């Protein structure tokens, strides 16, 4: 018997405790600490240390958890921990894992090691792993759990309960049983709750519900949007012939949801989605360098535009001083719209004729905010430089740039989506280029026309 008096505390505290133990240098105490953590907590802690400290932590991870921990950490961390593992060691670690975890781990190792480990698996697990590996990277089939608990439709609830106990079929994450016919085609599903709460003499068919299902080849991110919009905790996965091949459950959906939110944030901030917090300096520098290079190209494009107006710039230095204000206001206005639209796209709220409504709306938000802030900027510029042509030019340029920014903020992601390019990834770069170029062009162009005639 156990009593509970552990109240969960902030996750940072565990991290601090481990840091203290490591700095005291008492390896035995570190190992005692790990004996009390579960696989998810250990994976999280491993990801909270640089590679140099991970070795010292890894030797303290209990042998029986190492496989599950490897399946849970990010790919970069896994690769560093498994860098010189032999096939035999990998086989040992994966012995008690399910097919999903094994498939994930084997993605990281050398082809020769992978082959050897697969050969060592028992027949049913080997088959499941091969099924998972046969699916494309972003398909539902790749993320699904191939293990399902299947029952027949013409038995009583009591029979199902006895069958489960005899076979020891349920794991702690089970919540639904699949009802299938003789050909393993999906007929419906029965929830664990319905199994327990209803008259045990009743037939499965009475409480079975018509189960919506996913196609195994469907894009997993699309699928996550659908499942969230229906608040489903579980969904069966079938192939094109209607044969049950697995299930996607709430944990998979949550994982995909977090990945998607993460990728949007990273893409918009020009960070690669595989950058790990504690990656070595060289790895991070390289991965970020790619985006810095792309940004440099767009920055020089903006500079090139400015370069076309050297004549007016050398005559009125106030233009150089005020120039960044125009680009900055357009940049922010555009990125506000871009973010709102990318979110709407991710939630499946943008489509059909509401795109025109949104386009129209963003146009007017841009015009309205453009007018308001252009007026403010115009007044400040006039007080500062006392040059009404400069004030007029910046007022007009801000209205133009903020309107174009808002319109681009909706047009760019919609066009990218139609071209099947992830808007979160390249949307921000293209938008900044547009707002910089339009900002400098309108500001300095108008100045040239009005000042140099």
Of residues 130-159, those binding a copy of itself (CB under 8 A): 153
303, 309 Cβ separation under 8 angstroms = no
Asked if 449 is part of the footprint of a copy of itself (rule: CB under 8 A), the reply reads no
Asked if 414 is part of the footprint of a copy of itself (rule: CB under 8 A), the reply reads no
CA dihedral 377, 383, 384, 390 (to 10 degrees): 60
Binding to a copy of itself by CB under 8 A, coded x per residue (else -) over 94-123, reads ------------------------------
3-state secondary structure 70-126: HHHCCHHHHHHHCCCCCHHHHHHHHCCCCHHHHHHHHCCCCHHHHHHHHHHCCHHHH
Q: Whole-number minimum distance, CB 45 to a copy of itself, in Å? A: 9
**Which letter, b or e, does each residue of 386-422 get, where b requires 16 or more Cβ atoms within 10 Å of its Cβ?**
eeeebbbbbbbbbbbbbbbbbbbbbbbbbebbeeeeb
Of residues 357-376, those binding a copy of itself (CB under 8 A): 357-358, 361, 364-365, 368-369, 372-373, 376
Pick one of 24, 96, 130, 348: the residue that binds a copy of itself (CB under 8 A): 348
Tell me, by CB under 8 A, how many residues bind a copy of itself: 154
Binding to a copy of itself by CB under 8 A, coded x per residue (else -) over 259-278, reads --xx-xxx-xxxx---x-xx
Asked if 356 is part of the footprint of a copy of itself (rule: CB under 8 A), the reply reads no
Q: For residue 304, what is the enclosing H or E element?
A: helix 281-307
Q: Whole-number minimum distance, CB 345 to a copy of itself, in Å? A: 9
Kindly indicate which of the ranges 82-90, 91-99, 111-119, 347-355 contains the residues binding a copy of itself, using the contact rule CB under 8 A: 347-355
Report residue 87 as tokens. Answer: 């096939």
Torsions phi, psi for 138 (to 5 deg): -110, 25
Of residues 199-218, those binding a copy of itself (CB under 8 A): 199, 205, 208-215, 218
Asked if 74 is part of the footprint of a copy of itself (rule: CB under 8 A), the reply reads no
328, 438 Cβ separation under 8 angstroms = no
> Which residues have C-beta within 8 Å of that of residue 138, sequence separation ≥ 6?
219, 220, 221
Asked if 443 is part of the footprint of a copy of itself (rule: CB under 8 A), the reply reads no
CA neighbours within 13 Å on the CB side: how many for 395? Answer: 15
385, 318 Cβ separation under 8 angstroms = yes
Pick one of 11, 27, 124, 130: the residue that binds a copy of itself (CB under 8 A): 11
Q: Whole-number minimum distance, CB 251 to a copy of itself, in Å? A: 7
Asked if 230 is part of the footprint of a copy of itself (rule: CB under 8 A), the reply reads yes
Q: Give the Cα separation of 430 and 411 in Å (integer).
A: 11
CA 398 centroid distance within chain: 35
Of residues 35-54, those binding a copy of itself (CB under 8 A): 38, 40-41, 44, 47-50
Asked if 252 is part of the footprint of a copy of itself (rule: CB under 8 A), the reply reads no
Judged by beta carbon, residue 130 or residue 314, the one nearer a copy of itself is 314
Judged by beta carbon, residue 112 or residue 418, the one nearer a copy of itself is 418
Pick one of 340, 390, 399, 446: the residue that binds a copy of itself (CB under 8 A): 340
């Amino acid at each position: 018997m156990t009593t509970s008096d552990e109240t969960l505390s902030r996750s940072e505290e565990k991290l601090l405790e481990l840091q203290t133990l490591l700095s005291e240098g008492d390896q035995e105490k570190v190992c005692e600490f790990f004996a009390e953590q579960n696989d998810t907590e250990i994976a999280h802690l491993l990801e909270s240390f640089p590679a140099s400290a991970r070795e010292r932590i890894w030797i303290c991870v209990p042998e029986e958890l190492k496989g599950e921990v490897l399946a849970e950490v990010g790919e970069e961390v896994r690769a560093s921990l498994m860098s010189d593992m032999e096939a035999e060691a990998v086989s040992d670690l994966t012995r008690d894992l399910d097919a999903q975890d094994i498939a994930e781990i084997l993605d990281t190792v050398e082809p020769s090691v992978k082959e050897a480990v697969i050969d060592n698996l028992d027949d049913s697990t080997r088959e499941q792993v091969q099924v998972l590996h046969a699916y494309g990277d972003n398909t539902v089939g790749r993320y699904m759990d191939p293990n399902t608990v299947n029952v027949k439709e013409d038995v009583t609830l009591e029979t199902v309960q006895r069958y489960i106990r005899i076979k020891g079929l349920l794991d702690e994450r089970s919540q639904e049983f699949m009802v299938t016919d003789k050909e393993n085609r999906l007929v419906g599903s029965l929830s664990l709750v319905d199994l327990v709460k209803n008259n045990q003499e009743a037939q499965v068919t009475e409480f079975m519900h018509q189960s919506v299902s996913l196609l195994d080849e469907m894009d997993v991110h699309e699928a996550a949007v659908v499942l969230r919009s229906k608040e489903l905790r579980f969904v069966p996965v079938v192939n094109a012939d209607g044969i049950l091949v697995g299930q996607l459950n709430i944990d998979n959906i949550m994982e995909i949801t977090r990945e998607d939110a993460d990728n949007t944030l990273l893409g918009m901030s020009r960070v690669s989605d595989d950058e790990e917090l504690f990656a070595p300096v060289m790895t991070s520098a390289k991965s970020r360098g790619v985006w810095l290079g792309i940004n440099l190209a767009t920055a020089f494009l903006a500079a090139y535009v400015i370069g076309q107006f050297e004549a007016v710039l050398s005559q009125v230095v106030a233009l150089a001083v005020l120039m960044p204000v125009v680009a900055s206001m357009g940049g922010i206005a555009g990125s506000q719209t871009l973010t709102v639209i990318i979110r709407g796209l991710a939630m499946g709220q943008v489509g059909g004729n509401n795109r025109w409504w949104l386009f129209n709306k963003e146009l007017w938000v841009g015009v309205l905010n453009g007018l308001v802030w252009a007026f403010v900027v115009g007044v400040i510029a006039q007080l500062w430089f006392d040059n009404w042509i400069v004030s007029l030019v910046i007022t007009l340029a801000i209205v133009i740039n903020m309107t174009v920014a808002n319109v681009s903020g909706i047009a760019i992601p919609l066009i990218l989506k139609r071209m099947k390019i992830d808007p979160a990834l390249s949307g921000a770069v293209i938008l900044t280029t547009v707002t910089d170029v339009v900002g400098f062009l309108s500001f300095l162009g108008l100045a040239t026309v009005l000042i140099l005639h």
